[in-house]
Structure formats: structure tokens, C-alpha cells
Chain A
Amino acid sequence: MTEVLEEKDTHLSNFARLEREFAGKPRPWVHRIQTAAISRFAELGFPSNRDEEWRFTNVAPIAKTRFRPANGYEFDGVTTKQISRFTLDEFDSIGVVLVFVNGRLSEELSSYRHLPDGVKVGSLAAALESDRDQVEPYLAHFADYKDHGFVALNTAFIEDGAFVYVPTGKVVEQPIHLLFVSTSSGEPTVSHPRNLIVAGDNSQLAIVESYIGLDGGVYFTNAVTEIAMGQNAVIDHYKVQHESTEAFHVATLAVHQDRNSNFRSHSISLGGAIARNEIHATLDAEGIECTLNGLYMATDRQLMDHHTTIDHAQPHCNSHEVYKGVLDGRSRGVFSGKIIVRQDAQKTNAKQTNKNLLLSADAMVDTKPQLQIYADDVKCTHGATIGQLDADSIFYLRSRGIGHEDARHLLTCAFASEILAQIKIAPLRDRLEELMLTRLQKGAAIKEGS
């Protein structure tokens, strides 16, 4: 019990310090949310394996680490050049990239160009002051902190992140890239990026959220993104999790969809020692399309956990979900996909697939599809597979002169390509394909060397 108290203490005392720093700032409406969230965190604490939703993911290494807030920590001399390999030149040079270093927006590294009139893209910290009317109706309304320790913690520390507001009828043609960079300061730090994306009726945009570690070290990214979609809005959301190998990454994406809106999520996980990604989609009107695609590639001792919930609350909505995992070394994957079809949600069409490829004998995966159906006229399917590279396929490639390792890489890439092929931003897709191949080759080199 003492231990548990200590785990929370780190963050509670960080909060107390924050309170002192911000004393007197005239933002009582945000403060009310923050204090409610920190009290909730004090009650909930960190989840344990006894909690069904955390059965396969032990967060003790996160809970036991004494993190210093990364907020206020200076930008550490991060230069455009250092981050250039993570930006997506082809579109960043003509589009929008917001660069956050250790949780704070760096105006110097960011660029905003060619935004249609009325579209707002910038720091949430600034928007809390200047755009209260457009923030307050949404902030902390979709990512539920009452039931989730990490979301509560993030909410208590709401400070910076991205605020994107696209008014009714506006189409943002260039993707908006949110790049979260963490640097190592020698001692463990925590940042709580908080993003709010509001898409008005008939609007359209693409968002790329990437999380990267510049120079290794232990740090913790605890992110929350909320997305509110108006009627007929279209959003393509790309998440690239490429944190340092010692880092912890816990993130929740909550999307609320209105009538006839179309949300497509592409979640790619490559980094982190422990990475947990949650997506909660609420389909709260008729005619909605929701697509959740994901690819996780883990190696060494990485743990990658994906939890998704698609809540069909209204009739005539379609959801499609495909998550694929490639697990090497002694890594571990977790997939839990919940689909709720409420009593009113007749004519729901929901399809979920989770496929896992184990590249080593020591890799493991737990997959758990959960369908909760309360309506009677629906079409819901789900399927999960866990397998190895097919020996016949390997032989087929080798019999055509392709080397054994190359054959394995080709087949692994082929397995993952179903997800990557759906990425519509070509430079992003190319970068990820390249990254995947380099990683596989590196992995093979290690194996051959041992």
C-alpha cells in the first residue's frame, strides 16, 4: 500500500508544484477540470494486472519511475536539422508542421503556411487563453478521465499540445503534421501532450501525429488526443509512434463522430519499451463510417499494446478494423478490440480483424476481440490469427534465387503492406516502408551475429 502511494506521489507533488507556478492565472474553467482530474487520479492510481483492461500490460515500470515534468525544460538546442529526418519534407515544406519539444510547442521549429481562412492550427496553451469558445465545449468531453488513470493524469496536466480548428465547409488539403520530440536530460521526464481537433460540418483534413525520441533515455509520453467531428466531416488520422527504445508511451485517442462523418485512423507503432495505444470511437449518429487500421512491429523486449473501442450508438453505421502485428525477439504484443452495438444501432455493419506474425520463438501476443451486441439486425464479424512465416512461401521465393533472409523480409513486408498501402500521404508511406525494411535487416544482422 505504501508503495502504491509513493507511485502516485511523484505525480501528485508534480501537480502541487504546477499549481504554485500557475497560481493567479485567470483560467478557472481549465483549473476546475484539472483539479477534478488530479483528485480522480489520486483515487484511481495506476492500473494493475488485476484490472481486466490491463491484464496483459504491466505498467509497474512506469508507475515506479520518479519522473520530473518535462514541461518548462528548455528546448535543449533541438535544431531543424536534427528533426529533418522525421519531418515529411515533401509536404512539410508546403504545409504545416507543429514541432513540440518535450511537450512544448517550439515556434522556431514550426511552420504554418497555406492555411485556408478561418482554419486555426497552433498551440493548445495559447488557445486556452484566446479561443475559449472553441475549446471549452470539447476539451475533456470525449477522453474520459473518470475511469482511466493515465487520462486523468494527462487531464490534470493539460497545458500544451496542438489545437486544430477547421470551420464548417473548409477543406485543408495539406496534411497537418504534429511532431512530438523528446530529448533525454539524464533523468526521467514525463510530458503530457494534449491535442484537440475540431472539424466542423462538411470539413476535411488529414492529421499526422508522430512521436519520436531524439537520443534515447528513459522518458514517458502520456498523450491524449480528442477529435470532434461535425456532420459529413472527413478526417484521416495517422499516428506514428517511434519513441526511443527505453521510453514509455501511453496514448488515448477519443473521437466523437456526428452524422455521415468519415474517420480513418492509421496507427503505426515502432518504438518504446512499453507502448499502449487506445482509440475510443463513438459513432453517435446515423450514416457514419469509421476505419481503424494499425500495424505494430516490436522486437527485443518491447511491449506494444493496442486497445480499441468502437461504440455503435446509432443505426446504419459501418466500422472496419484491421490491426496487424509483427513480433520479433522477446517482444510482446497485445490487441484488444471492443465493438459495442447498442440497442438502437440496427443495421450496423462491423468488421474486425487482427493478424499477428511471430518472427521468433520467444515472441508472444495476446489477442482479444470483444463483441457486445445489444441490437438484433446487425452484421458483425471478427477474426484473429497468430502465425509464423509460411515455410512454403519462403521456399518458393528461395527457389527463385532470393536469399533466405531476403525472403523472410519480403514476406514480412508483404504481411505489413496491407496496412501501409492504405496510407495516402506518399512521403509518409515511403518513409515507413523504408524504416520497416531497415529494421528487419538490422534485426537479421543481430541474429546472424549472435
Chain B
Amino acid sequence: MLEIRNLHASVGGKGILQGIDLTVRAGEVHAVMGPNGSGKSTLAQVIAGREAYEVTAGEVIYDGKNLLEMSPEDRAREGVFMAFQYPVEIPGIANNAFMRASVNAIRKYRGLPELPFKDFRALLKEKTKLLEMDEDLLKRSVNEGFSGGEKKRNEIFQMAVLEPKLAILDETDSGLDIDALKIVANGVNALRSNERAILLVTHYQRLLSYIVPDFVHVLANGRIVKSGGKELALELEDKGYGWIDEKVKTAELANV
């Protein structure tokens, strides 16, 4: 479903991703872990199409198409979804109106008619239940005055409504208390299916106790330095990220 080859990306002239190779197949859940500044979030943003990041080399193939040539909206319409690390507050646009615009823009792209209002309301109602969200949040402006946890939950709610093929969660677990984390994980697990792939970008192993990944990748200095199964996350939890820094330094010294 997603094929990343030798991806290099920079922001403001500073190289962040230094050659990422990653293959994600339908039905798989991959976790990308790594210390702060390793490039985890950059990877998520580049896939979503944030223009501030410049891809300097490599390619990203999604469903056989060149993802990097698509506008952010077309990526979303093709089924890519990113849950933001820092969801944006948009005063003046109600959550439900936002979702309606989103659902219908995606349907239009796919040659489908607008979702009848009644069906749309039923869809929202079902998903608020899944995320244990107060329905009043739908009438409020997008993320405005939401607590940190409410914002993250709203991201997963949007994901549940849009039912993407490829979902990227950018540090969705950061700052969540354990109850909120369980609800969010529950929402994500409900979406796991053979047709869908999920990429979890996280700093902590904690999330992975609730959303158990098929593969874990460790990112450092813009490269994947180690890949393995779910047990790799536990190893990181025990040892911390210190040993990776050592490994990278050794590698760099060897290059000199």
C-alpha cells in the first residue's frame, strides 16, 4: 500500500530525513519510534503533504501512485489521513460542518453524490459513541477551547468518520492520561482491518500496549536504524534511546 524509498526531506534548507525506506502493506500496523528530533513527525508531515517540507530525494508510492505529486487534499481524497500532533483550532467553523465539507469533498472526488443529511447525522452519532465523545462537541467550533485530550480524541473521531485506507497517527498519545489513551486506542483498534494500514508515530512504548503493532521501526537522525516486531518496543522501553545515539555516533565515526 505504501512504499517509501530513499526518502530525503528538509525544512528551511536543513536536512531532516536522510534516506527512509519503509514498506507498509494493507492490514498492517507499523510503529515508528525514536527520540525527539529524529524525524518521526517530519515523516508523517511529508506523507500528508505539508508544503513547508521539501523532498530532496526519494519517492513515496501509495496504491501504485506517486504520492508526492498529489496535493494534500487529493491525498486525503485517495484515503490518506494524518491525525495531527497539534490539531488546529478553527473558530467559526463548527465541527459537524467541517466534517460535512470533508466527507462530501472526498465523495465528490470519488464520483459519489453528497451524503444525505440524515445519513451524515447518523454517521456522526455512531462515531461519537465509539470515541465516547459528548455530542455537544460537534456543534462547537473545531478544536476551539478543547482540552488537549479532547483535541486528540477529535482527531481520531475524524479518522473514524472518514475511514481512511492509510492512517498516520502523529504522536496522538502524547499528553493523554490513561483513560483518554484507552479510548483513543479503542477507536483506532476498531478501525483495524485487512484493507487498512496504520502508521503510529510515537515517542513512548505506552501506546503500543493498547494498539499492538505488527512492526516497530526505530528512527534516528533521519534514518531507520532498526526494525523488528512488537518486542522491539519493549526493548526500547527498557534501555531508552541512549543506545541508539551510541550506535549512530559509532556509525558516523566509521564514515569519517
* Given A403-B73, A406-B105, CB of A396 within 8 Å of CB of B162: no
| A residues 153-176 in Cβ contact with B at 8 Å | none
A401–B88 CB distance below 8 A: no
Q: Which of B88, B101, B106 contacts A396 (CB 8 A)?
A: B88
Stretch at the interface among A61-69, A314-322, A414-422: A414-422
B106–A401 CB distance below 8 A: yes
Closest B residue by C-beta to A403: B73
* Given A395-B72, A396-B84, CB of A401 within 8 Å of CB of B105: yes
**In the complex, chain B residues whose CB is within 8 Å of the CB of A410:** 93, 98, 101
Q: List 10 A-B contacts (CB under 8 A).
A: A390-B88, A395-B50, A395-B72, A396-B88, A398-B73, A402-B101, A402-B105, A403-B73, A406-B101, A414-B141
Which size bracket describes the interface of A in this complex?
A: 20 to 34
| A residues 346-404 in Cβ contact with B at 8 Å | 390, 392-393, 395-404
Q: Does any Cβ of A come within 8 Å of B23's Cβ?
A: no
Q: In the complex, A301→B102 CA distance in Å?
A: 34
| A residues 140-197 in Cβ contact with B at 8 Å | none
A401–B71 CB distance below 8 A: no
Q: In the complex, A442→B48 CA distance in Å?
A: 29
A398–B90 CB distance below 8 A: no
**In the complex, chain A residues whose CB is within 8 Å of the CB of B71:** 398, 404
**Distance in Å: Cβ of A282 to nearest Cβ of chain B:** 33
**In the complex, chain B residues whose CB is within 8 Å of the CB of A413:** 92-93
Q: In the complex, A399→B105 CA distance in Å?
A: 11
Q: In the complex, A416→B81 CA distance in Å?
A: 29
Q: Mark B155-177, 1 if CB is under 8 A from A, else 0.
A: 00010001000000000000000
**In the complex, chain B residues whose CB is within 8 Å of the CB of A30:** none
A403–B91 CB distance below 8 A: no
**Distance in Å: Cβ of B5 to nearest Cβ of chain A:** 23
Which size bracket describes the interface of B in this complex?
A: 20 to 34
Q: In the complex, A416→B93 CA distance in Å?
A: 11
A contact residues vs B (CB 8 Å cutoff):
390, 392-393, 395-404, 406-407, 410-411, 413-418
Across chains A and B, which 9 residue pairs bring their CB atoms closest together, nearest first?
A414-B92, A401-B76, A400-B102, A398-B72, A401-B106, A396-B88, A417-B92, A401-B105, A398-B73
**In the complex, chain A residues whose CB is within 8 Å of the CB of B39:** none
A392–B88 CB distance below 8 A: yes
Closest A residue by C-beta to B103: A401
**In the complex, chain A residues whose CB is within 8 Å of the CB of B101:** 397, 400, 402, 406, 410
* Given A396-B84, A399-B82, A410-B101, CB of A404 within 8 Å of CB of B73: yes
Q: Does any Cβ of A come within 8 Å of B51's Cβ?
A: yes
Q: Does any Cβ of A come within 8 Å of B58's Cβ?
A: no
* Given A395-B50, A395-B51, A406-B105, CB of A400 within 8 Å of CB of B98: yes
**Distance in Å: Cβ of B75 to nearest Cβ of chain A:** 8
Q: Does any Cβ of A come within 8 Å of B146's Cβ?
A: no
**In the complex, chain B residues whose CB is within 8 Å of the CB of A414:** 90-93, 141
* 11 other A-B residue contacts (CB within 8 Å) besides A392-B88, A397-B90, A400-B105: A396-B84, A399-B76, A399-B82, A400-B98, A401-B102, A401-B105, A402-B105, A404-B73, A410-B98, A414-B141, A415-B92
B87–A398 CB distance below 8 A: no
Q: Does any Cβ of A come within 8 Å of B152's Cβ?
A: no
* Given A414-B91, A414-B92, A415-B92, CB of A402 within 8 Å of CB of B73: yes
